[in-house]
Chain A
Amino acid sequence: MEVPDGTNVLEAALSNNVPLEHFCYQRYLPVAGNCRTCMVEIEGPKGSMLTVGCNTKVAEGMVVHTDSPKAKAAQKSALEFLLLDHPLDCPVCDKAGECKLQNQYMEYGLYDFRRGVPRDFKGGKAEDIGEHVMLDQERCVLCTRCIRFVDEVPKTSELAIVNRGHESTITIFPGQRLDNPYSGNVTDICPVGALTLKEFRFKQRVWFLKKTESICPGCSRGCNITVEQNKGKIYRFMPRENSELNKTWICDEGRFSFNHWQENRVTEVKLGHGIRSLAEGITELAKLLEGISPDEVAGIASPAAALEDNYLLKKLFEKRFKLKNLAAPFWGKPGQADNILKLEDKTPNAQGLRLLGIDTEGKDLLARIEKGDFKIVIMMHNNPHGQDEARAKKVFGKVNALIVLSVHQTKVAEQGSMVFPMRPFTEKNGTFVNATSRLQRFRAAYEPENPDIVEASLWISRLAKALKVEGFDFEDTPAVFNAIAKDIPALNGLTFNSIPSTGKVLDLPPVGPEPFQGIKCQPNILGKAKA
């Protein structure tokens, strides 16, 4: 086995698919070596010796046994110590189903309980230690993952271990609360049910959740997430490991945006004041557009919509209307940025618009709409991050018909003369290009109940067919992406399914800084391991 110089034994084993029990070790946090479960037997000049795999660097010619009887016995007894005073209240614990202790007992433990004296439990009920986090002392196994996280990544250091020996407990410093903007991550890395999210506590058992790989649309960083839902209700967003981008972290803003995508939605096709079917809506819209000169139609693309949607809107304007009447002005206020993950641009796909060559400022177009140059405006995915009703009235005041494709029932959607529901990223397939020019794919987590809610790209295809424009025969969004890949040189050779799960960096100048500026959060992976 060949690994980069300085890699530890545990990481060398894990990255070469050699199973090895580990508990306090987290790939993107410094090594603590306090759980002692990753014991391995290393052959040395004075005979073999037992040591922890996480804190031993690989050396030339090293012989390591991970499954010798001696190593296995050591791993098993280390686990027994961890479980000694851990309450077995798995049925009420929210971590059950994704608990490291549970999984490793089944994999490496399976010993008989042999404690002769009563168990000793630490604390009472779970206590509130932060805006999003609850701490249950009873279940804590003192792996210090959470402490290392708050020390290393947000560098706020709210957590610490107090007292000694068996009395040791994790706690927050007096007068301080775990309120940093990345606090949700401590609950992900907590291997047991000691730290839980208030937003997820008691809501759903984890084995009911279906996970779909996705991309956080909260800002132009494009952190990798999994959308976890059951029967069409999203219960949480969890970070997904991407060693090149967000490691295993996401910000709280992105994590807790899951409710936003299921609330206040446009659910029906509305024409004037009546509710119609999608087919009727498309026919009526096509009739309206046919009776008007192509110069009098403006289009507003969106940095919040997927690459495929914007591409097809651009193609429609190229073929049927005037391309110069299409732009993507962004109405939201820039948000907060930091040196970890958050970026100012709170839309996921502004870089995708630049890739397609759509104007992201669009001041000129808005001025012309306000002046009354256009009779019809087609607005896709009006910006969900803040709507200015007065401004919308002013800009669209002279427009005869405002066609809105919207996810949310926003102020602008209320002004639309035709409103079509649109699927958010959780219900559709597509791609985003983030600020550092990384093309990433997301997939539909579930199908909406109403079949009239279609993906925006398919809506545009149907409209194009109704307008008898050729070249819009797409069955689904992946087919649209494959067409874009043939069309745009930067994407040549890619297909929707061949995009790597960590994304692909495109040849496009980045507009944002790399994540984790001044934070050393990758001490354990030093490069790709070779078997």
Chain B
Amino acid sequence: MTGSQKLYLPEVLKGLFVTMGHVLRNLANPRRMPVIFYPEQKKDLPPTTRGRHRLMKREDDSPRCTACMLCATACPAECIHIKAAESPDPDIEKFPEKFEIDMLRCVFCGFCVDACPLDAIRMDVPEVMLADYTRESLVYRKEFLMDHDNKDIVPDYNPPRPVIWTHGPHAKP
């Protein structure tokens, strides 16, 4: 170390000059600050962000989910609770009578999305700051997860159902 560094105080003052320089320049021109004024301003999330879940729908607005429980099996946080029932649709065997995701337990790992064989669950709603006043309101129910009235924030709203060539008379070889 040099002599001035050993004296300590001159170096501290030098640092303070740098700080004060930034403060004064920012006050003169606030736009140059790399700060987002949350919550008035929000940063754009990358398109691959894992956000809040949503359940995809068929063309007739029924859930695409068949209650196979693979997401609940894959879920490391055990936050997905499904109750299966016989579907009223003659072409479909079962559907989720109840589908709940406990967001207080969810760890946003995305395993449920990977596990789903029908692309029925996605994590593409760009909402990551989930907060509420009660625990109950953070257990998302089927109706809420299927409510897709968020076209402005979910651009790729409801793409066509993937072709499943392994099952059903509608399948292609």
Residues of A at the B interface (CB closer than 8 Å) are 87-89, 91-92, 115-119, 121, 124-126, 201-203, 205, 207-208
Q: List 13 interface pairs A-B (beta carbons < 8 Å), by A numbering.
A: A88-B166, A88-B167, A89-B166, A89-B168, A91-B70, A91-B118, A92-B66, A92-B94, A116-B173, A125-B91, A205-B69, A205-B73, A208-B73
Asked if B86 is at the interface of the complex by the 8 Å CB criterion, the answer is yes
Q: Is the CB of B86 within 8 A of A121?
A: no
Q: Which residues of B contact A125 (CB under 8 A)?
A: 90-91, 93
The smallest C-beta distance from B118 to any residue of chain A, in angstroms, reads: 8
Kindly state whether residue B169 has any CB partner on chain A within 8 Å.
yes
How far is B27's CA from A248's CA once the two chains are assembled, in angstroms? 84
Q: A92-B93, A125-B90, A126-B93 are in contact. List 18 more A-B contacts (CB 8 A).
A: A87-B167, A88-B166, A91-B70, A92-B66, A92-B94, A116-B173, A117-B173, A118-B172, A119-B171, A121-B169, A124-B90, A202-B86, A202-B94, A205-B68, A205-B73, A207-B73, A208-B69, A208-B73
A-chain residues with CB within 8 Å of residue B118 when the two chains form the complex: 91
| Residues of the B chain whose Cβ atoms lie less than 8 Å from the Cβ of A118 | 171-173
In the assembled complex, the CB of B60 is this many whole angstroms from the nearest CB of chain A, namely 17
B100-143 interface with A by 8 A CB criterion: 117-118
Q: Shortest beta-carbon distance, A91 to chain B, in Å?
A: 3
Please give me the 6 A-B residue pairs with the lowest Cβ-Cβ distance, nearest first.
A91-B68, A88-B166, A202-B84, A89-B167, A205-B69, A118-B173
What separation, in Å, do the CA atoms of A124 and B70 have in the docked complex?
24
- Point out the residue from B68, B90, B172 that lies within 8 Å of A92, measured CB to CB: B68
Q: Tally inter-chain residue pairs, CB-CB below 8 A.
A: 48
How far does the alpha carbon of A183 sit from the alpha carbon of B172 in the complex, in Å? Answer: 37
Q: Is B75 an interface residue (CB 8 A)?
A: no
Complexed CA–CA distance, A119 and B85 (Å)? 27
Chain B residues contacting A92 (CB-CB under 8 Å) are 66-68, 93-94
Mask: chain B, 74-108; 1 = CB below 8 Å from A; 0 = not: 00000000001110001101100000000000000
Distance in angstroms between the alpha carbons of A126 and B91 in the assembled complex: 10
| A88 vs B171: C-alpha distance when bound (angstroms) | 11
Is B173's CB under 8 angstroms from A121's CB?
no
Question: When chains A and B are docked, how far (Å) is the Cα of A87 from the Cα of B173?
Answer: 12
Instruction: Tell which of A119, A121, A202 has the most Cβ of chain B within 10 Å.
Output: A202
B93, A87: Cβ atoms closer than 8 Å: no
Q: How far is the CA of A92 from the CA of B64 in the complex (A)?
A: 12
The number of chain B residues with a CB under 8 A from chain A is 22
Alpha-carbon separation in the docked complex, A2 to B13 (Å) = 95
Cβ–Cβ contact A91 & B66, under 8 A: yes
Check B173–A115 contact: CB distance below 8 A.
Answer: yes
B86 to chain A, nearest CB (A): 7
Q: Could you tell me the distance in whole angstroms from the C-beta of A375 to the nearest C-beta in chain B?
A: 51
Q: When chains A and B are docked, how far (Å) is the Cα of A87 from the Cα of B171?
A: 11
Bitwise interface map of B from 140 to 173 toward A, beta carbon under 8 Å scored 1, else 0: 0000000000000000000000000011110111
Shortest distance between the CB of A331 and any CB in chain B (Å): 38
Cα of A89 to Cα of B168 in the assembled complex, Å: 8
| B-chain residues with CB within 8 Å of residue A203 when the two chains form the complex | 84
Give the chain B neighbours of A89 by CB distance below 8 A: 93, 166-168
Query: In the complex, what residues of B have CB within 8 A of residue A119's CB?
Result: 171, 173
A203 (CB) vs chain B CBs: closest residue: B84
The one of B91, B117, B168, B172 that contacts A91, using a Cβ cutoff of 8 Å: B117
**Within 8 Å CB of B68, what residues of A?**
91-92, 205
Look across to chain A and name the residue whose beta carbon is closest to the beta carbon of B173: A118
Tell me which residues across on chain B come within 8 A of A201, comparing CB atoms: 86
Residues of A within 8 A of B69 (CB): 205, 208
Closest to B68 in A: A91
CB contacts (< 8 Å) of A116 on chain B: these are 173
Name the distance in Å between A512's Cβ and chain B's nearest Cβ: 41
Q: Which residue of B lies closest to A96 (CB)?
A: B68
Q: How far is the CB of B75 from chain A (nearest CB, A)?
A: 12
Q: How far is the CA of A481 from the CA of B54 in the complex (A)?
A: 55
Q: Which residue of A lies closest to B78 (CB)?
A: A231
Known: A92-B94, A205-B73. A121 touches B168 (CB 8 A): yes
Q: Take A118-B171, A205-B73 as given contacts and tell me if A87 and B166 are in contact as well, using a CB distance cutoff of 8 Å.
A: yes
Residues of B close to A87: CB separation below 8 A: 166-168
Give the complex CA separation of A125 and B168 in angstroms.
Answer: 11
Chain A residues lying within 8 Å of B70, measured Cβ to Cβ, are 91
CB distance from B70 to the nearest CB of A (A): 6
A202–B98 Cα distance when bound, in Å, is 12
Chain B residue nearest in CB terms to A121: B169
B87 to A: closest C-beta gap in Å: 9
Report the minimum CB–CB distance from A350 to chain B (whole Å): 40
Bound: A126/B87 CA distance, A: 11
Tell me how far the C-beta of B92 lies from the nearest C-beta in chain A, rounded to whole angstroms.
9
- Docked Cα-Cα span, A124 to B170, in Å, equals 12
Kindly list chain B residues whose C-beta atoms are within 8 Å of the C-beta of A117: 173
Q: A121 to chain B: which residues have CB within 8 Å?
A: 168-169
Which B residues touch A207, using CB under 8 A?
73
Contacts of B67 in A (CB 8 A): 92, 202
Bound CA–CA A208/B69 (angstroms): 10
Q: In the bound complex, what is the Cα–Cα distance between A367 and B137 (angstroms)?
A: 61
Closest to A118 in B: B173
Question: Which of B69, B73, B171 has the largest count of A CB atoms less than 10 A from its CB?
Answer: B69
Which chain B residues lie closer than 8 Å to A91 at the CB level? 66, 68, 70, 117-118
A442–chain B nearest beta-carbon distance, Å:
29
CA distance A116 to B172 in the complex (A): 11
A91 to B94 CA separation, bound complex (whole angstroms): 10
Nearest neighbor of A231 in chain B, beta-carbon distance: B78
**Least Cβ distance of B169 to chain A in Å?**
6
Alpha-carbon gap, A115 to B172, bound state (A): 12
Shortest CB–CB separation between residue A126 and chain B, in angstroms?
A: 7
In the assembly, what is the distance between CA of A372 and CA of B162, in Å? 77
From A202, which residue of chain B is reached at the shortest CB distance? B84
User: In angstroms, how far is the closest chain A Cβ from the Cβ of B50?
Assistant: 22
